[in-house]
Structure formats: structure tokens, C-alpha cells
Amino acid sequence: MARLESWGMRRFCVCGAFPANDCMSHCSFLRRGPSLPRRLTLIWIKVIWRGLRYILKIECNGSEQMTLSWKVGGLALGLVFFLAVLLVKPIGVSTQFVILDGILWDAASPGVVTQTDEGYTSTNAYLAKSGGKYAKSVANPLNYSFVFVLAMMAGAAASVFARGGLGADERRAPALWRANFGDGAGKRYLVAFLGGFIVLYGARLAGGCTSGHMMSGMMQTAISGYVFAVGAFAAAIPTALLMFKAED
């Protein structure tokens, strides 16, 4: 069975192809995911599901409404990533912001993405790289990765509605934020936007985000995933200490 290996920021397949995308034509792992026995897969899913139900029962403690526990959320997230790698491919999110930008750009200025005899290409170097992979996604947005991100937002909304909507406390900024910056919504939205912009820009420079590098990458023992994780926490912890000096 073929599997993915990593060295530094590069990825290759043990079948000998480099980069890993080059072995798509003959590597069953990259097409269908690892072919674990069906019985073993179902056992793992059943064990994780029972664990989720047990922890959820303890955390709810008779309450009709609750914010999802980090224990339940962590196990659920691990299960989703496991199933994604098993059944389809590793999860990545930040790339789809680039795809959305390309879709809007191509709609406003047709011709940004074009189809050739060899596939798809773009007048933009970033969309045209990797053999036009991003350009192809822009031209055909109803693909697994883009729909997955849309489904994430739909799932989050469904989760909120299922538990009766957001409570009054959840609509306010966290107490630690209020202690340092007050209760104004404008400053909160501005900092959230700037933080998101910086994180997304850095993710594209690194070729992946917390889902693609840190979560999916570390699950595959990719060195790039561990490097990304160290860098993320090395920047996040000092930033938090500088910003949030006052305690709630």
C-alpha cells in the first residue's frame, strides 16, 4: 500500500513519484485513501461515537442548552479528519479563499482563467501554478474541496439552530477581551478581520493552514505540519500575552 511521506516542506509518495501529485495515475492511496478493512474502520467509528455520546452525556448534566465541550469537539474533529483521510483526502481550507477570489475575479473580468488542450491555466501566476490546479478549481467550483468549506458554514449554522440559537452571553465579546479593550463591537470586528487577513496571508505563504498543515499534516507525520505548528504557537502565545495583559 502506498503512503505519503514528507521531508521538510516537500511531499512525495513511497511509490517514487515527486511531487506526490505525480503519482495520481497509479497510486491507489491518493485516489481512494488507505484501504483499511471495512470491519476495522466500522469498529473505530463505533468506539469514537460511543466516546462522544458518553462525554456529551456527562457535560450536558441535564442542561437543555450548552456550548459544545472541548472534549466533545476534539473527538468529533478527530473523527471528521480521520474519515476525510480514509475516504477522500486530507482536509484543507485556506486554499478555497483563493479559489473564491478567482471565481469573483473571473466573473468580473472573463478571461482570467482559460482552458487549453493541456488543461486549465490563468493570466495570474498563482492560479496557474501546480499545472493549473487552482485555475481548474476556479473554472469548476462545484468540487469536493470548495463544497466542503460551504458545508462547514452550513453545518455550523445548523448546529446553532439545533441548540436554540446563540445565548446573550455568547453574543458578547469574551470577558478577557472586554477587560482589555472594552465592550465595543467595532474594535472587536476590526481586530478579528485584521487577524484573519494576516493568518490567511501567512497560510498561503506557507502553502497551508491549521487544517491543511497542522491537523492533516501532523496526522500524516509530515514534518512541515510540525514546523507549522511550532511557528503558529511561537507567534500566537507572545501576541496573546502582549494584547491581553489585564485579567478578566
Would you say the pTM of this structure is higher than 0.85?
no
Same domain, residue pair 52 and 79: yes
Same domain, residue pair 82 and 41: yes
**196 falls within a domain:** no
pLDDT band at 87 (very low <50, low <70, confident <90, very high): confident
**18 falls within a domain:** yes
pLDDT at 143: 85
**64 falls within a domain:** yes
Same domain, residue pair 24 and 47: no
**74 falls within a domain:** yes
Q: Model confidence over 141-197: pLDDT tens digits?
A: 888 888 888 988 998 888 788 777 777 777 888 888 888 888 888 888 999 999 989
Segment 117-135 mean pLDDT: 88
Q: Give the contacts of 97 (CB within 8 A, at least 6 positions apart).
A: 200
Q: For the chain, what is the largest distance between any 2 Cα atoms, rounded to a whole number of angstroms? A: 62
As a whole number of angstroms, the distance between CA 13 and CA 224 comes to 15
Q: Model confidence over 69-85: pLDDT tens digits?
A: 777 778 888 888 888 87
Which CA distances in Å does 55 have to 49, 50, 72, 151, 218?
10, 9, 6, 25, 25
pLDDT at 51: 65
- Flag whether pLDDT at 112 surpasses 80: yes
Same domain, residue pair 47 and 81: yes
Where is pLDDT greater, at 138 or 31?
A: 138
Q: Model confidence over 31-58: pLDDT tens digits?
A: 344 444 556 656 666 666 666 666 555 5
**60 falls within a domain:** yes
pLDDT at 164: 78
Same domain, residue pair 10 and 28: yes
Q: How many CB atoms lie within 10 A of CB 115?
A: 12
**129 falls within a domain:** no
pLDDT at 38: 58
pLDDT at 122: 92
Whether the CB-CB separation of 93 and 83 falls below 8 Å is answered with no
pLDDT at 88: 82
As a whole number of angstroms, the distance between CA 131 and CA 120 comes to 8
pLDDT at 185: 85
**159 falls within a domain:** no
Last residue of a domain, which of 87, 113, 128?
A: 87
Q: Model confidence over 192-240: pLDDT tens digits?
A: 999 989 988 888 888 888 888 888 888 888 888 888 889 889 998 999 8
Q: Which residue reads 439545533 in cell numbers?
A: 162
Q: Which of 245, 213, 224 is nearest to 81 (CA)?
A: 213
The mean-pLDDT minimum among 22-36, 112-126, 224-238 falls in: 22-36
Give the total number of structural domains in the chain. 2
pLDDT at 193: 93
pLDDT at 60: 53
Whether the CB-CB separation of 216 and 225 falls below 8 Å is answered with yes
Q: What is the DSSP string of the chain?
A: ---EEEETTEEEETTS-SSGGGGTTT-HHHHH-----HHHHHHHHHHHHHHHHHHHHHHHTT-SS-PPPHHHHHHHHHHHHHHHHHHT-----THHHHHHHHHHHHHHSTTSEEEETTEEEESSHHHHHHHHHHHHHHHS--SHHHHHHHHHHHHHHHHHHHTTS--HHHHSPPHHHHHHH-S-HHHHHHHHHHHHHHHHHHHHHHT--IIIIIIIIHHTT-HHHHHHHHHHHHHHHHHHHHH--S--
Q: Which domain holds residue 69?
A: 37-87
In sequence order, the β-bridge partners of residue 10 are: 7
pLDDT at 42: 65
Q: Give the contacts of 232 (CB within 8 A, at least 6 positions apart).
A: 210, 214
pLDDT at 40: 61
